[in-house]
Chain A
Amino acid sequence: MSEKTIFSERMATVPARKGFVKSLKKDLAGWGFIGPFMLIYLVFLVWPILQAIGLGFFKIDLLVIADRTFVGLDNYFRMFWGENMQWTVVNMWEWRLVGLLLLVPVYRAWRKKTLSNLEGGVYAALLVLVFAVLMGLAPGEGGRWNDSLFWLSFGNTVLFVVLSTPVIVGMGLLLAMALNRPGRWTGVLRTVFFAPYVLSVSVLTLIWAFLLNPQLGLIGSFLELIGLEPVSFLTSPTLAMPAIVVATLWWTVGFNVVLYLAGLQDIDKSLYEAAEIDGASYWQRFRDVTWPGLRRTTLLVMVLQIIASFQIFGQVFIMTRGGPNGATRVSIQHIYESAFRDFNLGYASAMSVFLFLVMIVFSVLQFRFSKDET
């Protein structure tokens, strides 16, 4: 009689524990599969996040890391407050108005019962708090933010997210649709579009800084060829950020193409055949078959892209160092400089926590509202 049998028989005499052991055995395989990943995830992601949250309440010098002073919410006070702060209804009124318009879809979702009273109430309260109340605060006459660069860099980061997300997601979808067909060149083109994704950020920036150079670069030469003046994209306060968006598009769109290609290949071909038999145009087939079939892929791509865009750093740091006139200074650059140039690890951690929360909010909202649509 094997040990296993004896063990099983013994366990059979303890009926209350039988189900537990069976369940344990069943779960063991699952834990075995996810265990290694969970370990890495906990050690390299969850633990650093908890550390960062903790460090945000301290004044810590990067060079003398053992010396730390508990400062409570001082780091957050430095970020969010300033001298002579005043609330006015006109401060950033355009953005606040746009933000408050989000109350409309919340209200509609609540009327359609897709949002519970509690959830709808929480969303509405948050929107009113952020856009009607908090964004009305700004330094008054003679006042200033404790750290004006924090808000400048956060504003630029949001601008980059707003500019880059629709472009990189949209181009990903368009390219995937163009490449989702059999053919000799399709495979080659898929590789071509994905290839830049494997480059490191330093290579990407070298290529694009050279391309965009008005005197030495390809784009300047092309503009001269057609009789136009070469444009110095990276020194123009209005064109520098769009130029960074284009470079990022070239670099990362391949990843979205791969995700969309997988999504497209999951759509049942018979749906297209039925639509064609019904005489649907290309646009109708896209609107009624392709787009609904890609909802889940789009949700994934959008969330990944928003998070990636919030983390913009390497491109701007190497190509413009945040200039000209702060036009491309982004949050991670400010965090990086606070920690590694100014040695202020506690303050940098507090800013990281804020950025982390913003990304969480965007991701949750994206998941929540996309789920409602599907």
Chain B
Amino acid sequence: MLETKKKMLQLLAVGAVSALVLSGCAAADEDNSADSGDTSSESSGDTASNEEVTIELARFFGDCDDTTEGVTDVSQATSECEVIQILTNAFNEEDNGYTVEKLGGQAWGDYYTQLGTTFSGGNPPDVAVMHQHRLPDYVGRGLLTPVSEPLSSIGVDWNDYTAPALGAATYEGEYYGVPFDIHGSLWHVNVDIYEEAGLTDADGNPIMASSAEELLEQCQTVQAETGKQFFGHDWFEFGVGARLFLGLVWQQGGELSDGTTANPDSPEGAEALSLLNQLASDCSNPEQGYTDSQASFLAGDVAVLHNGTWIVDQYDRESNFTYMATDIPSIYGDFGSWGDSHMWVMPTDSSRSAAEEEASLAFMAYLYENVGNWAIGTGHIAPRQSIIESASYSDAPQRDNYAGTADKARMVPAVPGWAGAWDALSEELNATWVAGKDQAQALADAESRMNDALAN
């Protein structure tokens, strides 16, 4: 009841704020209708051309209003949040008659819960960010508007997108989103530790392992020669282990899903899980989560950190050692590394006026134009060929070192219900290195739980 009372108070507070916000929106809508002198959505768009049209943007990447208020120069950004917020500020500053209002700004963990409730409440945002693997859940229910034609007509060149990016935005032959990036797993390397262990080539570059045996040998060498931990990543918080698992399965020519079901319980899965458990027990500290593993790496105590593209620029700035971001090594021969894409989508909303739709498309086209700023400001891989080939992109730190990921990145399977299936996989894999669960049992349980999630 104590929690109940707290929750009730919080709910009442949220309810009160929501009521105020909703009444504010309603009032704004009424004002627009009154000014236009016409209640039809079509004509309100035409007659309100002199009015500032306000659209709602739903996104994650966090909240950084305190550091970006009034800032419109994207080169000042130091994080994902700051890049997207400064880009939004700059769009609002332009004399285009459009204003973008941010809804929330949550961390990605809560974002989809809140996005889902906007649909069930019948009031979805005008533009929203979405991972490519979530697209089937929404498009399959008819909740997103195809944007192929309208965006082509205002300057979006779909042919400029790389194949993985365009594939991520495509559903049954239509484009449903503007890919903003490709992001994926990388190895972040402390080159000084590699050098101290004698694992660098003549040019001073770290030698990447090309087999599981070589990887474990490097681990022994680094730990014996330097006393430092060889490998680090988040072992239990955000499914980072499952990302590496997926990449290692792909490297062996295996697949995790055929598009409708999941099959982690395969020979490739068993081999990948075995290697991950050896890394956990012999070369790492499986008690480390996301924050701890980063702290150890930045303190110079870990040779290799497995994390994503989004953190490259931050590590490049903050590390006090020779830092290098590189592709996940091909341990089993083929290239294979987890990837996903952030994209901007337009939720279907029959109450959206023509003017609001026009503003939404204009904002999406603006974000398409700024793909390069996003990629350069964060470390994500640009999804457009012209950006990848630009001098400013290749001049950005470390980008050449993970060009392989840009070329060959594979997207996490886009299957309806994948979020629950992925959580199930992640929990079962984590249980092997954190709680000592039998690996064969974990894979069998993962398969049954994943398929339950996909079936329901």
Residues of chain A whose beta carbon lies under 8 Å from any beta carbon of chain B: 44, 61-65, 144, 147, 149, 197, 200-201, 213-216, 232, 235, 237, 252, 255, 303-305, 307-308, 311-314, 321-327, 337, 340-344, 347
CB of A341 within 8 A of CB of B419, answer yes
Q: Which size class do B's interface residues fall under?
A: 35 or more
**Chain B residues, Cβ within 8 Å of A303:** 1
Among A213, A216, A342: residue with most chain B CB under 10 A: A342
Known: A323-B427, A341-B113. A235 touches B2 (CB 8 A): no
A interface footprint on B110-121 (CB within 8 Å = 1, 0 otherwise): 001100110110
CB of B143 within 8 A of CB of A308, answer no
CB of B430 within 8 A of CB of A62, answer no
CB of B427 within 8 A of CB of A216, answer no
Interface of B is mostly: helix
**Chain A residues, Cβ within 8 Å of B362:** none
Closest A residue by C-beta to B288: A215
Q: How far is the CA of A324 from the CA of B436 in the complex (A)?
A: 10
CB of B141 within 8 A of CB of A63, answer yes
Closest B residue by C-beta to A199: B6
CB of A341 within 8 A of CB of B423, answer yes
CB of A326 within 8 A of CB of B2, answer no
**Chain B residues, Cβ within 8 Å of A340:** 112-113, 116-117
Contact of B2 among A61, A308, A341 (CB under 8 A): A308
Q: How far is the CA of A323 from the CA of B6 in the complex (A)?
A: 25
CB of A147 within 8 A of CB of B452, answer yes
B145 to chain A, nearest CB (A): 15
A interface footprint on B415-456 (CB within 8 Å = 1, 0 otherwise): 001011001000100110011010000000000110011001
* Chain B, range 209-244, C-beta contacts under 8 Å to A: 235-237
Contact of A342 among B1, B2, B142, B420 (CB under 8 A): B420
Q: How far is the CA of A141 from the CA of B419 in the complex (A)?
A: 30
* Chain B, range 147-176, C-beta contacts under 8 Å to A: none
Known: A63-B119, A324-B430. A213 touches B292 (CB 8 A): yes
B111 to chain A, nearest CB (A): 11
**Chain B residues, Cβ within 8 Å of A313:** 3
Q: How far is the CA of A327 from the CA of B286 in the complex (A)?
A: 17
A interface footprint on B1-41 (CB within 8 Å = 1, 0 otherwise): 11110111011000000000000000000000000000000
CB of A324 within 8 A of CB of B420, answer no
CB of A326 within 8 A of CB of B431, answer yes
Among B6, B116, B119: residue with most chain A CB under 10 A: B6
**Chain B residues, Cβ within 8 Å of A147:** 452
Q: How far is the CA of A347 from the CA of B138 in the complex (A)?
A: 20
Contact of B4 among A64, A311, A342 (CB under 8 A): A311
Q: How far is the CA of A134 from the CA of B331 in the complex (A)?
A: 51
Q: How far is the CA of A303 from the CA of B3 in the complex (A)?
A: 13
Closest A residue by C-beta to B15: A44
CB of B427 within 8 A of CB of A326, answer yes
A interface footprint on B63-74 (CB within 8 Å = 1, 0 otherwise): 000000000000
Known: A62-B116, A304-B1. A144 touches B427 (CB 8 A): no
B133 to chain A, nearest CB (A): 13
Apart from A149-B449, A323-B236, A325-B430, list 12 A-B contacts with CB within 8 A: A64-B142, A216-B295, A235-B287, A305-B1, A308-B1, A308-B2, A308-B3, A312-B3, A325-B431, A326-B431, A341-B423, A343-B137
Residues of chain B whose beta carbon lies under 8 Å from any beta carbon of chain A: 1-4, 6-8, 10-11, 112-113, 116-117, 119-120, 137-138, 141-143, 235-237, 286-288, 291-292, 295-296, 417, 419-420, 423, 427, 430-431, 434-435, 437, 448-449, 452-453, 456
A-B contact pairs, 28 of them (CB 8 A): A62-B117, A62-B120, A63-B116, A64-B119, A64-B141, A65-B120, A200-B6, A216-B291, A216-B295, A235-B236, A235-B286, A235-B287, A235-B434, A237-B435, A304-B1, A304-B2, A308-B2, A323-B236, A324-B430, A324-B431, A324-B434, A324-B435, A325-B427, A337-B423, A340-B117, A341-B423, A342-B419, A342-B453
Contact of B116 among A252, A321, A343, A347 (CB under 8 A): A343
**Chain A residues, Cβ within 8 Å of B4:** 307-308, 311
B347 to chain A, nearest CB (A): 10
Q: How far is the CA of A363 from the CA of B365 in the complex (A)?
A: 58
Q: How far is the CA of A189 from the CA of B398 in the complex (A)?
A: 55
CB of A63 within 8 A of CB of B143, answer yes
CB of A61 within 8 A of CB of B141, answer yes
CB of B2 within 8 A of CB of A252, answer yes
Contact of A307 among B1, B138, B236 (CB under 8 A): B1
Known: A63-B137, A63-B138, A344-B456. A325 touches B434 (CB 8 A): yes
Q: How far is the CA of A308 from the CA of B2 in the complex (A)?
A: 6
**Chain B residues, Cβ within 8 Å of A327:** 435
Q: How far is the CA of A214 from the CA of B434 in the complex (A)?
A: 14
CB of A200 within 8 A of CB of B10, answer yes
Known: A324-B434, A326-B431. A337 touches B10 (CB 8 A): no
Among B7, B112, B119, B120: residue with most chain A CB under 10 A: B120
Q: How far is the CA of A64 from the CA of B142 in the complex (A)?
A: 9
Closest B residue by C-beta to A149: B449
Closest B residue by C-beta to A65: B120
CB of B434 within 8 A of CB of A323, answer yes
B418 to chain A, nearest CB (A): 11
Q: How far is the CA of A323 from the CA of B10 in the complex (A)?
A: 26
CB of B3 within 8 A of CB of A252, answer yes
**Chain A residues, Cβ within 8 Å of B235:** 235
Contact of A323 among B2, B430, B453 (CB under 8 A): B430
A167 to chain B, nearest CB (A): 14
